[in-house]
Amino acid sequence: MEKIIIIINGKEAQVDKNFTILQAAKSLGIEVPTICNDNRLVPHGACRMCVVEVKNARALLTACTTPVAEGMEINTHSERVINSRKTTLELMIANHPLDCLTCSKAGNCKLQDYCFEYDVTGEKFSGFDKDDLPIDDSNDFYTFDPNKCILCGKCVKVCDELQCTSAIGFSGRGFSTHVSHPFEAGMDYSTCVSCGNCVSVCPVGALMPKEKTKFREWEVKKTQTTCSYCGVGCQIELKVKNNKVVGVDPAMGPSNDGLLCVKGKFGYKFINHPDRLKIPLIKKDGVFNEATWDEAYDLIASKINEIKKEHGSDSIAGLSSARATNEDNYLMQKMMRAVIGTNNIDHCARL
């Protein structure tokens, strides 16, 4: 890639010719705040948090949309820039409930983080009009609180550009602009497929998964793993509080690019389901009785030995699982072949 020279915060630096100012800054370790930016989306330039000062430009420019040019002089944190960001945050928070104490998004909210960073308290425009719109909880998997929405547009763009369902869009003009869906009858009556990709990208608490267990972002431990549903192999992060999975976030896996479907995003509740088998069971007279592992193993082992002796290894067969891990499957076929002595092993690949 061809390089060019820019002057950023007073220092000369070499960057890729095709970079935006935001990418250039990132490559140089300079953090520029963004809310509406997502590398996978066409830059939107809506939130105006990433504005920077460029010499000879009439107004401030958004780093996310402006390409670098040879010799460009950029200041990412001048007083003018900081003041602009502060006012932008003041405006956002002025039309946003100040309910961080009870908001489940606290600790994972970009608006909260930036207000903290830029010392924005929400006092400047206190007393001004705020939205008072009904919360849409018609969808079974997530809620939409338009009062918390800061109209960054990520949900709409993810639904349109990545998920390609285009279930949601904008309605109204000016201050009345809001995220909506056809005829505003409730999300559940739209073409929404509940993939939750909008929920995953929402920077504030407007789109939230329906989860009964309350947790704070800092309380959960995150573990990256592979989704256990279809064969796409989406990468997910399981959020765990007190040994319970309380949420799933998409990870930027090579197969899923940070996207998920309804099952991957919201279909985790079987993990902690009370119906889970917790103890070995042995059937006696048609009724299952709880048993110890040793009792179960002993019974199975004796049965195997008995049948093998009487009818030969080939009178035993094993069904392995397309839902279990490679390691599990390897051992299952190894047990059938090496220990029981038969190739009678198959699984439901055909279903």
Partner 1 sequence: MTNSINEIDKSEVIFIIGSNTTENHPVIGSRIRRAIKQNGAKLIVADPRNIDIANDAEVFMQIKPGTNIALLNSMMNVIIEEKLYDKEYVDTKTEDFEKLVETVSNYSAKVGAKICGVDAEDIKRASKLYAKANVASLFYAMGITQHTSGTYNVMAIANLAMLCGNVGKEGGGVNPLRGQNNVQGACDMGALPNVYPGYQKVVLPEVKEKFEKAWNTKLDNKVGLSIPKILDKAISGDLKMLYIFGENPMVSDPDTKHIEKALKNLEFIVSQDIFLNETGELADVVLPAACFAEKEGTFTNTERRVQRVRKAVEAPGKAKPDWVILSELMSKLGYDCSYNSASNIFDEMASLTPSYAGISYKRLENNQGLQWPCPSEDHPGTKYLHKDKFARGLGIFKPSEYITADELPDEEFPLIMTTGRILYQYHTMTMSGRVEGLNKQAPESYIEISSKTAKILRVINGEMVRVTSRRGTIETRVKVTEIVEEGVVFMPFHYANGANVITNPATDPLSGISEVKVCAVKIEKIA
Partner 2 sequence: MTIFRSHVLMCSGTGCVSSNADQILARFKEKIKEVGLEKEVQVIKTGCFGLCESGPNVLIYPEGSFYSHMSVDKVDEVVDEHLLKGRIVKKYLYKESIDKDLIKSVDEINFYKKQKRVALKNCGIIDPENINEYIAMNGYMALGKALTEMNPDEVIQLIKDSGLRGRGGGGFPTGVKWSFAARNKADQKYMICNADEGDPGAFMDRSVLEGDPHTVIEAMAIAGYAIGATKGFVYVRAEYPIAVNRLEIAINQAKEKGLLGKNIFNSGFDFDLEIRLGAGAFVCGEETSLIASIEGHRGMSRCKPPFPANQGLWTRPTIINNVETLANITQIVLNGSKWFRSFGTENSPGTKVFALGGKINNTGLVEIPMGTTLREVIYDIGGGCPNGKEFKAVQTGGPSGGCITKENIDIPIDFDTLTSIGSMMGSGGMIVMDEDNCMVDIARFFLDFTVDESCGKCTPCRDGTKKMHEILDNITSGKGINGDIEKLLDLAYTIKDSALCGLGQTAPNPVISTIRYFRDEYEAHINEKRCPAGVCKPLLSYYITDNCIGCTKCARNCPVNCISGEVKKKHVIDTNACIKCGSCITDCPVNAIIKR
Q: In the window 79-98, what residues touch partner 2 (CB under 8 A)?
A: 80, 83-84, 87-88, 91-92, 94-95
Neighbours of 227 (CB within 10 A): 25
The encoded tokens of residue 305 equal 């030995």
Decide which of partner 2, partner 1, none touches 339; Cβ closer than 5 to 8 Å per partner kind. partner 1
> Cα separation of 9 and 62, whole Å?
16
Per the CB < 8 A criterion, the answer to whether 262 and 200 are in contact is no
Identified binder of partner 1 from the candidate list 162, 187, 206, 207, rule CB under 8 A: 162
**Listed ranges 11-19, 66-74, 108-116, 320-328: which one lies at the site for partner 1 (CB under 8 A):** 320-328
Task: Single out the residue of 88, 163, 180, 200 in contact with partner 1 (rule: CB under 8 A).
Answer: 163
Is residue 32 within 8 Å of residue 76, measured between CB atoms?
Answer: yes
Query: What does 98 bind: partner 2, partner 1, none (CB cut-off 5 to 8 Å by kind)?
Result: none
Mask: binding to partner 1, 290-309, rule CB under 8 A, as x and -? -x-x--xxxxxx-xxx-x--
Minimal distance, residue 39 CB to partner 2, in Å: 16
Sheet holding 221-226, edge to edge: 221-226, 235-241, 244-250
Q: Which of 65, 75, 104, 333 binds partner 1 (CB under 8 A)?
A: 333
Binding segment (CB under 8 A) for partner 1, from list 2-10, 22-30, 86-94, 236-244: 236-244
| Of positions 62, 194, 256, 320, contacts partner 2 by CB under 8 A | 62
Q: How far is the CB of 284 from partner 1 (least distance, A)?
A: 9
Q: Which residues lie closer than 8 Å to 96 by C-beta, 6 or more apart?
A: 111, 122, 130, 147, 148, 150, 204
- Are the beta carbons of 111 and 36 closer than 8 angstroms? no
CB of 350 to partner 2, least distance (A): 45
144 binds partner 1 (CB under 8 A): no
| Amino acid identity for residue 83 in this structure | N
Distance (Å) of CA 164 to CA 7, 45, 109: 39, 21, 26
Q: Could you say whether residue 47 binds partner 2 (CB under 8 A)?
A: yes
In the range 158-177, which residues lie near partner 2 by CB under 8 A?
Answer: 169-170, 172-177
Strand partners, 61: 52
Q: How many whole angstroms separate alpha carbon 16 and alpha carbon 203?
A: 29
- Pick the stretch among 67-75, 148-156, 179-187, 312-320 that binds partner 1 (CB under 8 A): 312-320
Out of partner 2, partner 1, none, which partner does residue 279 contact, by CB within 5 to 8 A per kind? Answer: partner 1
Closest approach, Cβ 311 to partner 1, in A, equals: 5
* By the rule CB under 8 A, 147 interacts with partner 2: no
3-class SS string, 139-200:
CCCEEECHHHCCCCCHHHHHHHHHCCCCCCEEECCHHHCEEECHHHCCHHHCCCCCCCHHHH
DSSP character at residue 91? H
For residue 321, give the 3-state DSSP assignment: coil
Closer to partner 2 by CB, 119 or 275: give it.
Answer: 119
Q: What is the dihedral of CA 126, 132, 137, 138, to 10 degrees?
A: -160
Binding site for partner 2 (CB under 8 A): 43-48, 51, 59-60, 62, 65-67, 80, 83-84, 87-88, 91-92, 94-95, 124-125, 128-129, 150-151, 153, 169-170, 172-177
